[in-house]
Amino acid sequence: MRQLSTSYWPKDESDQVRETTVGQVLRDTARSAPVQLAIFEGCHDPAARRQWTYGELLDDAETAARALAIRFDPGERVAVWAPNIPEWIILEFAAALAGLTLVTVNPAYRPSELAYVLNQSGASGIFLVPEFRSPMAEFLEEVRPDVPRLRDTILFTEWDAFLESAPASAVLPEVQPGDIAQIQYTSGTTGFPKGAELHHRGLVNNARFYTSRIGLRQGEFYVNPMPLFHTAGCGMGVLGTVQSAAVNVPVFAFDPALVLELCETVGAQFLLGVPTMLVAILEHADFSRRDLSAIRVAVSGGSPVPADLVRRIEKEMGATFSVVFGTTECSPLITETRLDDDPDDRAETLGQPMPQTEVKIADPGSGETVALGALGELCTRGYLVMNGYHDAPEATAAAIDPDGWYHTGDLASMDERGFFRIEGRLKDMIIRGGENIYPREIEDVLFAHPGVAEVAVVGVPDDHWGEAVAAFVRPASGIPPTPEELRIHCRESLAPYKTPVHWQFVDSFPLTASGKIQKFKLRESLG
Tens digit of each residue's pLDDT (9 = 90 or more) over 38-49: 999 999 999 999
Whole-number Å distance between alpha carbons of 376 and 367: 9
Residues 6+ positions from 187 with CB-CB distance below 8 Å: 193, 328, 512, 513, 514, 516
Looking at residue 187, what is its pLDDT? 61
Nearest to 165 by CA among 174, 152, 147: 152
Beta strands in 327-434 (DSSP E): 333-336, 352-353, 357-362, 376-382, 388-389, 406-414, 420-425, 430-432
Q: Which helix (H) or strand (E) holds 104?
A: strand 101-105
Give the three-class secondary structure for 205.
helix
CB 37 within 8 A of CB 234: no
For 429-525, the fitting CATH number among 1.20.59.10, 3.30.300.30, 3.40.630.30, 3.40.1120.10 is: 3.30.300.30
Q: What is the pLDDT of residue 495?
A: 82
pTM above 0.85, yes or no: yes
Q: Where are the domains of the chain?
A: 8-414, 429-525
Q: Distance (Å, rounded) from C-alpha 107 to C-alpha 227?
A: 9
Nearest to 413 by CA among 467, 371, 452, 441: 371
Angle 301-512-77 (CA atoms, 0-180°, nearest 5)? Answer: 95
Task: Give the separation between CA 90 and CA 87, rounded to whole angstroms.
Answer: 5
Neighbours of 344 (CB within 10 A): 11
Q: Which of 464, 454, 465, 466 is nearest to 504 (CA)?
A: 454
**Matching fold, domains 8-414 and 429-525:** no
221-246 as b/e: b if 16+ CB within 10 A: bbbbbbbbbbbbbbbbbbbbbbbbbb
Q: What is the pLDDT of residues 339-360, one digit of tens each?
A: 999 999 999 999 999 999 999 9
Write b or e for each residue in 160-189: b if 16 or more Cβ atoms lie within 10 A of its Cβ, otherwise e.
eebbebbeeeeebeebebebbbbbbbbbbb
Distance CA 254, CA 83 (A): 10
First CA to last CA across the chain, in angstroms? 49
Q: What is the DSSP letter of 42?
A: B
Check residue 45 and give its pLDDT: 98
DSSP secondary structure code for residue 94 in this structure:
H
Percent of the chain at pLDDT > 90 equals: 84
Q: DSSP H helical segments within 215-274, as ranges?
A: 240-244, 256-266
Q: Cβ(269)–Cβ(296) under 8 Å?
A: yes
The angle at the Cα of 271, spanning 189 to 282, to the nearest 5 degrees, equals 80
Which CATH entry fits the domain spanning 8-414: 3.20.20.370, 3.30.420.40, 3.40.50.12780, 3.40.50.2000?
3.40.50.12780
Residues 163/71, Cβ–Cβ less than 8 Å: no
The Cβ of residue 117 has, within 10 Å, a number of other Cβ atoms equal to 24
The distance from CA 474 to its chain's CA centroid, rounded to whole angstroms, is 23
Under-50 pLDDT residues of the chain: 188-190
Helix (H, G, I), strand (E, B) or coil at 226: coil
Strands (DSSP E) found in 148-233: 152-155, 180-185, 195-199, 221-224
How much of the chain is helix, strand and coil, in % rounded to 5? 35, 25, 40
Q: Starting from the edge strand earliest in sequence, which strands make up the sheet with 502-505, in order? A: 452-462, 466-475, 502-505
pLDDT for 190 equals: 45
